[in-house]
Amino acid sequence: MGGGAAIALLALGLVLSFKASGVVNLAHGALGMYVAYVFFELRNFETDPAGKPGGDLVLPILGLPARVHLVDRPTVFTALLVTFVVAAALGAGVYGLVFRPLRNAPPLARVVASLGLFLYLSAVAKLRFVGETGQGAAAIQPEFPLPSGAVRIGDAVVPTSNFVIAVVALASTVALVCVYRFTRFGLATRAAAENEKGALLTGLSPDRLGYLNWILATTLAGMAVILIATDTHGIDPTTTSLAVVPALGAALLGGLSSFGATAAAGLAIGMSQSTLTTFQSNNQSWLPDWLSGGALAGALPVVVILIAISLQGSTLPTRATLLDRRLPRAPEPKHPVLACCAVATVAAVGLLTLDAQWRLAIIVSTIATVIALSTVVVTGFVGQISLAQNAFAGLAAFTTAKLATTYDIAFPIAPILGIAAAVVVGVVTGIPAVRVRGLTLAVATIGIAVAVENLVFNSPALLGISHIPRPELFGIDLGLRDVGDKNFRPAFGLFALALVTASAIIVANLRRSATGMRWLAVRSNERAAAAAGINVASMKASAFATSAFLAGVGGVLLAYELSSLSTDNFSIIAALASVALVYLGGIASIGGALFAGILATGGVLTKLNGGAAGGASQYQFAVSGLVLIIVAIFSPDGITGAASSAMRRVVDKVRSR
């Protein structure tokens, strides 16, 4: 009940921010996580073994001092007061600096901005609170003055604190219902959400309403995470931020409009998750061995999300649906074979002449480029916002590794079967895309990615797979590992380079083919495409299948590149970062995928900056998130698109002279 009430509070905040600006804020949990960290850091003196005085305010802006000391040993009331002021400032700042400029932007830009905010806040919280390395469990074990004791209901013992959390959630729901139904502020918010121009004509200020709603939403998020942390006795930047997934399920069940239905759905999801966790722990003897602990509870929100969006969606958008005013450019590739071979030749020369660390950096960028191409196809060409590409890659990698190590299936049969598994799941993932699109599809795919992580990547049957047999083709050893300077062998790099070159040429030719033109037509206007005789559902399915195939190719290469596979290689954070890099490069162009590969963690850019190949800078995710927000606001075509536009303007100016 306590967890369900906390989910309900988070979901109420999601509904508030959606009412104010039409944003399904994927960073809502991350905002609450940071606000909660602020509170517990202020009160840290009670739990710090060293007995530090506490009272430090931790600032979330890189470049400013990390901490500002406010007061020694603040009381709970003082800490809460400061925390709510921080929540208000954070909510107002996020709306004013990020989402207000994107009010009329396409859904993709708003999703990308929320992803950037998610990455930034998660990374900054790791740096500020967990430690400079960003690794390990959170240093804070939160304590909050909730009642101790318990209430016995039959054979169950329910902590009194859970009732208090539930009362807070229900009271918040009743208050929001009353405010938005009976007060001028609530009525004005509803009016502005339905017709912004009409609200302006009647003297209402959508901006003022947006600021107030985002302040309320962020405060609710902070309160929810404080209560979650108190209930679970811990807080973590990544795991706590992902509490937004079950909250999204509750908000969707409430239609992103009804506070009462949203709160009821949140309570039901939380209590069902707890029941499934208890059921799984008590029935391990007959449940499958491959099912990880908590897998059923982790998959429940995904089922809820898929049911909710399937019931609410339609196969085609209505005539009243607003079309995107500005879609990312999808330029037709010029001489793709020549361009791809030229880039491949430069990379091949580097593999054959540079040292081992440079070879590894090129290989990492090569594999990342293949996975980036999968995002270009499904999101750039068809407009389906998918955040599950890393999940497809992980499925291919784990399937290949399991088949090769446990069942002795040789290369290339094991990789082919691994890619086939990714394609099957990709097509299944594309089924919701028939009825939903835009922000809602992004929510569905991030839920699917979390479910795959819980059910597959955390499975005891797959964890710790290592020493995958070396790939060999026609008697040629294509393995990566060796000793000393021979490590990260050029043979594997050339093999990966051949695959990415072929993939890029295929994607370029698809873009120029009749299929590519149909994809772009679906992206532009589904109703118009259907009227022209295009089967919209089959086009979406073909795009998901193609993108899953490309992601599977990248996953197979990762299976042979990594010494051992783990959940961290395909975590949801890595997935969000991958989409972020593709958007930075240009989400609808082959060049954007190449740019994303160069920017990938441990790739060529990391090596150029003096970092270790294959490793990540402690500031990389924070900087990537910040740059992603800036690009989403000012350059929806990405860096390559902006460079191409600048080049065309220069050429036109020269010709005009």
Instruction: Tell the residue number behind the tokens 């809460």, with chain if given.
Output: 80
pLDDT number for residue 428? 87
Pick the residue with more confidence: 155 or 98?
98
Class of domain 336-649: mainly alpha
pLDDT-based confidence at 289, cuts 50/70/90?
low
pLDDT-based confidence at 656, cuts 50/70/90?
confident
Model confidence pLDDT, tens digit, residues 639-651? 776 777 777 777 7
Model confidence pLDDT, tens digit, residues 254-288? 888 889 999 999 998 888 888 888 777 777 666 66
pLDDT number for residue 618? 61
* pLDDT above 50 (res 137): no
Average pLDDT over residues 414-418: 94
pLDDT number for residue 188? 82
Model confidence pLDDT, tens digit, residues 188-238? 877 776 666 666 666 677 788 889 999 999 999 999 898 888 777 778 888
For residue 566, which phi and psi values (nearest 5 degrees)? -145, 170
- How far is residue 397's CA from residue 377's CA, in Å, rounded to a whole number? 20
Whether residue 406 contacts residue 281, with contact meaning beta carbons closer than 8 Å, is answered with no
CB half-sphere exposure, 252, CA atoms < 13 A: 30
Average pLDDT over residues 623-629: 82
Most confident of 284-288, 428-432, 482-486, 593-597: 593-597
| Paired residues of 67 in beta bridges | 58
In b/e form, how buried is each residue of 428-452, taking b as 16+ CB within 10 angstroms?
Answer: ebbebbbbbbbbbbbbbbbbbbbbb
Average pLDDT over residues 485-503: 93
Average pLDDT over residues 311-317: 55
> Which residue type sits at 553?
V
> Which residue type sits at 59?
L
* pLDDT above 90 (res 557): yes
* Tokens read off for 553: 């190719």
pLDDT number for residue 616? 56
pLDDT number for residue 47? 54
**Residues, the chain, total?**
657
Average pLDDT over residues 399-428: 91
pLDDT number for residue 151? 83
| Radius of gyration (C-alpha) of the chain in whole angstroms | 25
Whether residue 244 contacts residue 26, with contact meaning beta carbons closer than 8 Å, is answered with yes
Residue 288, SS3 per DSSP: coil
Residue 245, SS3 per DSSP: helix
pLDDT number for residue 187? 81
* pLDDT above 60 (res 48): no
Of 94-108, 285-299, 358-372, the poorest mean pLDDT is in 285-299
Secondary structure in 3-state letters for 406-425: HCCCCCCHHHHHHHHHHHHH
* pLDDT above 90 (res 608): no
Average pLDDT over residues 336-340: 91
Residue 332's CB is within 10 A of a number of other CB atoms, namely 12
Of 257-261, 435-439, 453-457, 523-527, the poorest mean pLDDT is in 435-439
- Give me the percent of the chain exceeding a pLDDT of 70: 86
Instruction: Tell the residue number behind the tokens 């959606």, with chain if given.
Output: 18
CB half-sphere exposure, 302, CA atoms < 13 A: 20
pLDDT number for residue 293? 62
Average pLDDT over residues 332-346: 90
Whether residue 17 contacts residue 23, with contact meaning beta carbons closer than 8 Å, is answered with yes
Residue 600, SS3 per DSSP: coil
Alpha helices (H) in 408-489, listed in sequence order: 413-429, 438-452
pLDDT number for residue 196? 65
Task: Return mean pLDDT, the chain.
Answer: 82
Q: How far lies 544's CA from each of 265, 329, 374, 537, 539, in Å?
A: 30, 20, 9, 11, 9
Domain spans of the chain?
2-265, 336-649
pTM of the model: 0.85
* pLDDT above 80 (res 246): yes
Whether residue 315 contacts residue 435, with contact meaning beta carbons closer than 8 Å, is answered with yes
- 471: DSSP letter: P
Name the residue among 320, 556, 567, 541 with its Cα closest to residue 462. Answer: 567
Whether residue 161 contacts residue 146, with contact meaning beta carbons closer than 8 Å, is answered with yes
Of 4-8, 141-145, 346-350, the poorest mean pLDDT is in 141-145
Whether residue 168 contacts residue 219, with contact meaning beta carbons closer than 8 Å, is answered with no
